[in-house]
Amino acid sequence: MTRSLSAKEHPMARKVKVIAHRGGREWAPENTMAAFRQALDLKVDGIELDVQRCATGELVVFHDDDVGRTTNGVGLVADISLGELRRLDAGSWFDKAFRGEQVPTLQEVLELVDGKCMLNIEIKNTPVSYENIEEDVVALLADYAHKESIIISSFDHYVLARLAEIAPEYKLAVLNDAVVLDLPAYLARFGALYYHPGFDSCRADVVEECHKNGIQVNSWTINGRKNWSRSLDLELDGIVTDDPEDLMVYLGRAVAV
């Protein structure tokens, strides 16, 4: 009888990228500087975050269109000024230890990350639509010294089409949670080098087809060791997870504490 390989012995264990979903939702309030700092301290391969535009025009890092779930406020991000967002508590809902954590701007996160890892910027454009948000993101990234470490993704593929038109130098990722016929041809419409499918729709033949066409596959949101094991067998390029610390331990890249 042959011994089965442990996760750390798997051929993909040192290759697959660990990407902290919203900074790592298991250890800190999502999309906050506290989460991003912990992800950087762990030396993850990448951080995924969400970007919207507030009422005063700044690009802020926030997932939901409404602030109610993860702050003590009410209302749409699009209708709230940056000053008002700053006064919200974005941490206590997660744990009282994070009381007073603020909603960060994309500029602040760029300054914190500063090329230390890959940064996946997901542009939110539904259900609230932000006119010309693509231009705003590109303008903000103009002075970022580590553009090669940026991936821009969106579920709104019109956003990706616009980005391909105005800023073809950026790496684009098609976010999707459904089956796409002739996937390589679809990705080629945007010049996308990355495909980010939901894990439930991620199949071995899809990954293989992408790899044959030079497309990297980072799948979301993958939690738990059973799913991580399947991710390695699928030969995913990146695992987007809420619990990057445990994933790093599972892969043998970090020691459990």
Domain of 188 in residue numbering reads as 11-52+110-250
Give burial (CB, 10 Å; 0-12/13-18/19+) of 34.
buried
Task: Determine if residue 43 is left, alpha or beta; phi over 0 gives left, psi from -120 to 50 gives alpha, anything else beta.
Answer: left
β-bridge pairing 46-53 and 59-61: antiparallel
Query: Is 176 within the bounds of a domain?
Result: yes
What's the pLDDT tens digit per position in 188-220?
999 999 999 999 999 999 999 999 999 999 999
Query: Is 80 within the bounds of a domain?
Result: no
Residue reference for tokens 């997901």: 122
Query: Is 89 within the bounds of a domain?
Result: no
Residue 243: alpha-carbon gap to chain centroid: 13
Distance from C-alpha of 16 to C-alpha of 46, rounded to nearest angstrom: 11
Phi, psi of 121 (to 5 degrees): -95, 110
Q: Is 211 a catalytic residue?
A: no
Q: Is 21 a catalytic residue?
A: yes
Query: Is 87 within the bounds of a domain?
Result: no
Query: What is residue 6's predicted lDDT score, i.e. its pLDDT?
Result: 76
Instruction: Give the residue-averaged pLDDT of 136-163.
Output: 98
Q: How far is CA 34 from CA 28, 89, 90, 161, in A?
A: 6, 13, 11, 33
> Of these residues, 63, 157, 196, 211, which one is catalytic?
63
One-letter identity of residue 20: A
Residue 1 has pLDDT above 50, yes or no: no
pTM for this predicted structure: 0.96
Query: What is residue 165's predicted lDDT score, i.e. its pLDDT?
Result: 98
User: CATH no. for residue 140?
Assistant: 3.20.20.190
Query: Is 209 within the bounds of a domain?
Result: yes
- Residue 96: pLDDT band (50, 70, 90) is very high
Query: Is 91 within the bounds of a domain?
Result: no
Give burial (CB, 10 Å; 0-12/13-18/19+) of 57.
exposed
Structural domains counted in the chain: 1
Query: Is 76 within the bounds of a domain?
Result: no
Q: Which of 93, 134, 113, 137 is nearest to 33 (CA)?
A: 113
Residue 116 has pLDDT above 70, yes or no: yes
> Of these residues, 21, 157, 196, 211, which one is catalytic?
21
Distance from C-alpha of 194 to C-alpha of 112, rounded to nearest angstrom: 24
Would you say 104 and 82 are in contact if contact means Cβ atoms under 8 Å apart? no
Lowest mean pLDDT among 8-12, 113-117, 134-138: 8-12
- Residue 227: pLDDT band (50, 70, 90) is very high
Higher pLDDT pick, 44 / 8 = 44
Query: Is 158 within the bounds of a domain?
Result: yes
What's the pLDDT tens digit per position in 47-78?
999 999 999 999 999 999 999 999 999 999 99
